[in-house]
Amino acid sequence: MLRVRSRHRYKLPLEDTIMERIAYLGLGIMGSGMATNLLKAGYDVTVWNRNPESCKPLIEQGATQAQTPAQAVENAEVIIYSLADDRAVEDVVFGQDGILSKVRSGQIAIDTSTVHPDTSRKEAAAYAEKHVEFLDAPVFGSKNESTSGGLWFVVGGKREVFERVKPILSPLSESIHYLGDTGKGAAMKLVGNSVVATQIEALGEAMVLATKAGLNPKDVLDVLHVVDFRSPLFDGVGKMLVNRDFTPSFALKHMLKDANLIARFAQDLNSPTPAAAMVRETLKVAVNQGWGEENASALIKALELEGGVTVES
């Protein structure tokens, strides 16, 4: 029998019940922060990760560890996962001992991974056959936002399911946005990531140009901080750049993965994305230089290489 906590009450099909048992799968930079905040919010959390060592900090905080995705979801009411890419989702959801092998009617699955909308629609169809509800709910933000509960969720799926799980997502987020039916959350994430990558490219080009012109990079950032085209991304990435800090909060290799998804998505829709295509080439160069495990801002190092300068204080 479920323990009653009035602050987590929802209307589920056929009955009033309490959704408090959560399975969380995928404990990378983003997932570990989200799972931790669910524990802090008082939820009963079972965790799984491909590398079991990543579960230890969560176990110390009260989580239960599962040995397989199937075992993780068996007794859960809500299943949340944050995985590296479409291939990982395919494996964890559809593979042997995967999520679909043990789900049951009445559960809700939430995919917070950045994937192609077609992957989200494939997941939704497979879950529907098991009478499981599904939301694609990727997030904007990185390590700091995941840790502090300040992520921005963009969600696709049934509106009534979205409303049902909003209180569960609330401890993880600064804001939660409903975008429409299945795949719309995934689509919004690719749209947003295209903006992010293009902004980093623009900042990199500007800072390389400023350095070659003899401007002090810190003076340039001071101006960019106050002008009408200022951006929090310019502030954060700019400071890390001049300090030569490329500690990963979102790895460069993952930004290239997303750029490849954006290219495919745009091709599917015959949508022009010339700037995104150019940024994708810069990302390829940076990853091929061996910087894939560094922060996404390391794409600027490829521009520095081409320009023959280093941007630093």
Instruction: Locate 41 and state its tokens.
Output: 């919010």
The residues near 214 (Cβ < 8 Å, ≥ 6 apart) are: none
Q: Is 56 assigned a catalytic role?
A: no
What are the CA-CA distances from residue 294 to residues 50, 148, 252, 256 (Å)? 22, 22, 6, 12
CA-based radius of gyration for the chain: 21
- Kindly report the number of other CB atoms within 10 A of residue 87's CB atom: 12
Distance CA(109)–CA(76), nearest Å, equals 10
3-state SS assignment for residue 75: coil
Distance CA(201)–CA(195), nearest Å, equals 10
> Strand ranges (DSSP E) for the chain?
9-12, 15-18, 21-25, 44-48, 64-65, 78-81, 108-111, 133-136, 139-140, 151-157, 173-180
Catalytic residue among 189, 253, 257, 301: 189
Residue positions annotated with a catalytic role: 189
